[in-house]
Amino acid sequence: GNSVTQMEGPVTLSEEAFLTINCTYTATGYPSLFWYVQYPGEGLQLLLKATKADDKGSNKGFEATYRKETTSFHLEKGSVQVSDSAVYFCALKSGGADGLTFGKGTHLIIQP
Amino acid sequence: DTAVSQTPKYLVTQMGNDKSIKCEQNLGHDTMYWYKQDSKKFLKIMFSYNNKELIINETVPNRFSPKSPDKAHLNLHINSLELGDSAVYFCASSQDLVGYGYTFGSGTRLTVV
């Protein structure tokens, strides 16, 4: 079956630091890959996505590249802000009727 | 206008009670989902409906029964609540079964005491 593994948190960084949150996946076929963000007390919001190998998703300064050879979709941001503090979920979706499969989430804390 | 709205936002109830959570989407999507998020933030799909038809029914106790009166609504009824049911329940919708753009509600925090 499908699965997503992402680094355990919490990850604590200082403002303006470089961020990497690792994500690897196991899936049949060629899934689409996603990063969702959950701010405190809120639902999940789509941050970025990539639907095929070598695609790069980007939004709000965050980027992730779909690497089929390493089955990875690592999230990066060059300079984080306090407002980026949230829980980040890597997810995949295979074709057909399967729902999204999520990783366990990484809690990111940015200190001023 | 909230795209996917859930009610109530918070629900505190005693063990053994029966409760319902309601979800409505105004996006015109065909597919709706219920996800459970446990205390460690892990998200797991429970059910999905497409045009009122049950598509995914993961290993969930029979005490959980979804109902979709129309494609804009997906309610979750829980019988004989147990302590382990305490979690945040998220409703979501997508254009169709293969749609990639999920829109999530803001969640219902259920606490069973």
Burial of B21 (0-12, 13-18, 19+ CB in 10 A): buried
Strands (E) in chain A, as ranges, are: 3-6, 11-14, 19-21, 23-26, 32-38, 44-50, 56-59, 62-65, 75-77, 86-93, 101-102, 106-111
B71-110 residues touching A, CB cutoff 8 A: 90, 92, 97-98, 100-102, 104-107
Residue B58: per-residue pLDDT: 79
**pLDDT above 70 for A93:** yes
Nearest to A89 among B43, B106, B107 (CB): B43
Strand partners, B35: B45, B90
**pLDDT above 70 for A108:** yes
Per DSSP, B17 falls in state -
Nearest to B41 among A87, A93, A96 (CB): A87
Measured between beta carbons, which residues in chain A are less than 8 angstroms from residue B105? 43
pLDDT band for position B47 (cuts 50, 70, 90): very high
Q: Rounded distance, CA B45 to CA A102, Å? A: 9
Structure tokens at A17: 């630091």
Residue B2: per-residue pLDDT: 74
Distances (CA, A) of B23 to A43, B54, B106: 13, 16, 10
pLDDT band for position A54 (cuts 50, 70, 90): very high
Contact B102 A100 (CB under 8 A): yes
**Max CA pair span of chain B:** 38
**pLDDT above 70 for A99:** yes
Q: Rounded distance, CA A43 to CA A23, Å? A: 21
Residue A9: per-residue pLDDT: 84
**pLDDT above 80 for B14:** yes
Residue B1: per-residue pLDDT: 66
CB B73 within 8 A of CB B24: yes
Contact B104 A45 (CB under 8 A): yes
Contact A99 B105 (CB under 8 A): no
**pLDDT above 90 for A97:** no
Q: Which of A109, A84, A105 is nearest to A22 (CA)?
A: A105
Region B55-60: mean pLDDT is: 82
Average pLDDT, chain B: 92
Region A70-74: mean pLDDT is: 97
pLDDT band for position B15 (cuts 50, 70, 90): very high
**pLDDT above 80 for A33:** yes
Q: How many CB pairs below 8 A link A and B?
A: 53
Min Cα distance B74 → chain A (Å) is: 16
- The continuous run of DSSP H or E covering B20 comes out as strand B19-25
CB B48 within 8 A of CB A97: yes
Half-sphere exposure of A45 (CA within 13 A, CB side): 12
pLDDT band for position B76 (cuts 50, 70, 90): very high
Contact B42 A44 (CB under 8 A): no
